[in-house]
């Protein structure tokens, strides 16, 4: 990476910090190693070991490099109830290096109190405006300028796959499998709803997303497991993802704060993760307890605050703002 690009990278990161600092968000700094994690079946991890000091009674202990700071940041929210943000290194195993992925990457994660997913979307548009107004784009400004294109996931499937995802999902997995076959997608046999949805989305919907402006897909189907609140309409959750030039950049939820819902998610996803993980990890099965109400002044119960969190890939953001097409072009030391 030449010095001009290194300086541009630094300015964009500084600009992101300036934006959230001016908004009154608290910057946090949390561990990169965790003894237990949130189960996410779509991710593989890096494992390491904390060696016991020689002569101590302590046993060697397994740790995992975090795929996201979410684990720690929500614990801070439970205790301090503040809007917070963090720019940190994250790690995901089994991913290629070069064009769009890096096993080690930089994440921006931000949580807003008393907000839902649409407020987080408006905040993200504000962030883009702020960075553009500071002249931090080396590419075409108009291509990144908000407002973003907004399309519900159901409408995206109608436009680019030719059917209503909500209607076909209500009919069951055989209806989705039939649509996959109609589109010439090899769906094999025995796939569940989530796998069929992923196949159609990856092969038919995602490649056809608009390229002229950032595009946000909203209201994801509720059969895709995540820690998002149920939507006002049946069958969806309050979630969006942001795409630039057809590349996923950010993922956001209205955070699920019901402790029983979180507990059920961990039980279900924990079982799937244990069965499927190439790198098994310990799961924080007590995590749901951070969502229990706290006892406040005069003995009043204070529930976990309504909030929305977004995770944004900083390297991909820098790539977009610098008009580059490959992530390794904006990394100071790309992985081989």
> What tokens appear for 136 in the block?
């931090």
pLDDT given at position 237: 98
Task: Provide the residue-wise pLDDT of the chain in tens; the chain has 336 residues.
Answer: 789 999 999 999 999 999 999 999 999 999 999 999 999 988 999 999 999 998 888 899 999 999 999 999 999 999 999 999 999 999 999 876 668 899 999 999 999 999 999 999 999 999 999 999 998 887 566 789 999 999 999 999 999 999 999 999 999 999 999 999 999 999 888 899 999 999 999 999 999 999 999 999 999 999 999 999 999 999 999 999 999 999 999 999 999 999 999 999 999 999 999 999 999 999 999 999 999 998 877 778 889 999 999 999 999 999 999 999 899 999 999 988
pLDDT given at position 190: 86
Sign of CA dihedral 91, 96, 97, 99: negative
Domain 3-147+257-330, architecture per CATH: 2-Layer Sandwich (3.30)
CB 233 within 8 A of CB 155: no
Phi/psi-derived region of residue 114, left when phi > 0, alpha when psi is between -120 and 50, beta in every other case? left
- Bridge partners for 302 per DSSP: 294
CB 87 within 8 A of CB 300: no
Residue 122 to residue 20: CA distance in whole angstroms: 14
């Amino acid at each position: 990476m030449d010095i001009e690009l290194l300086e541009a990278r630094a300015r964009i990161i500084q600009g992101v910090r300036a934006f959230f600092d001016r908004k009154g968000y608290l910057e946090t700094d949390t561990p990169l190693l965790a003894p237990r994690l949130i189960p996410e079946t779509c991710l593989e991890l890096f494992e390491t070991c904390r060696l016991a000091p020689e002569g101590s009674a302590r046993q060697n202990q397994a740790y995992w490099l975090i795929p996201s700071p979410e684990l720690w940041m929500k614990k801070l929210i439970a205790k301090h109830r503040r809007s917070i943000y963090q720019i940190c290194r994250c790690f995901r195993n089994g991913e290629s290096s070069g064009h769009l992925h890096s096993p080690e990457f930089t994440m921006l994660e931000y949580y807003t109190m008393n907000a839902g997913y649409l407020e987080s979307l408006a905040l993200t548009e504000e962030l883009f405006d702020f960075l553009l107004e500071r002249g931090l784009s080396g590419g075409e400004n108009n291509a990144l300028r908000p407002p973003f294109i907004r399309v519900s996931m159901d409408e995206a499937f109608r436009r680019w796959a030719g059917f209503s995802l909500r209607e076909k999902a209500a009919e069951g997995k055989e209806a989705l499998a039939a649509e996959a076959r109609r589109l010439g997608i090899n769906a094999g046999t025995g796939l569940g709803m989530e796998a069929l949805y992923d196949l159609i989305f990856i092969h038919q919907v995602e490649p056809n997303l608009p390229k002229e402006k950032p595009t946000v897909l909203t209201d994801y189907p509720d059969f895709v497991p995540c820690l998002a609140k149920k939507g006002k309409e049946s069958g969806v959750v309050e979630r969006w993802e942001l795409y630039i030039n057809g590349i996923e950049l950010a993922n956001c939820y209205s955070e699920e704060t019901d402790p029983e819902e979180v507990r059920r998610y961990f039980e279900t996803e924990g079982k799937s993760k244990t069965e499927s993980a190439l790198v098994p990890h310990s799961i924080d099965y007590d995590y749901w307890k951070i969502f229990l109400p706290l006892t406040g002044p005069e003995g009043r119960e204070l529930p976990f605050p309504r909030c929305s969190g977004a995770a944004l890939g900083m390297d991909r953001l820098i790539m977009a703002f610098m008009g580059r097409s490959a992530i390794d072009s904006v990394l100071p030391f790309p992985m081989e």
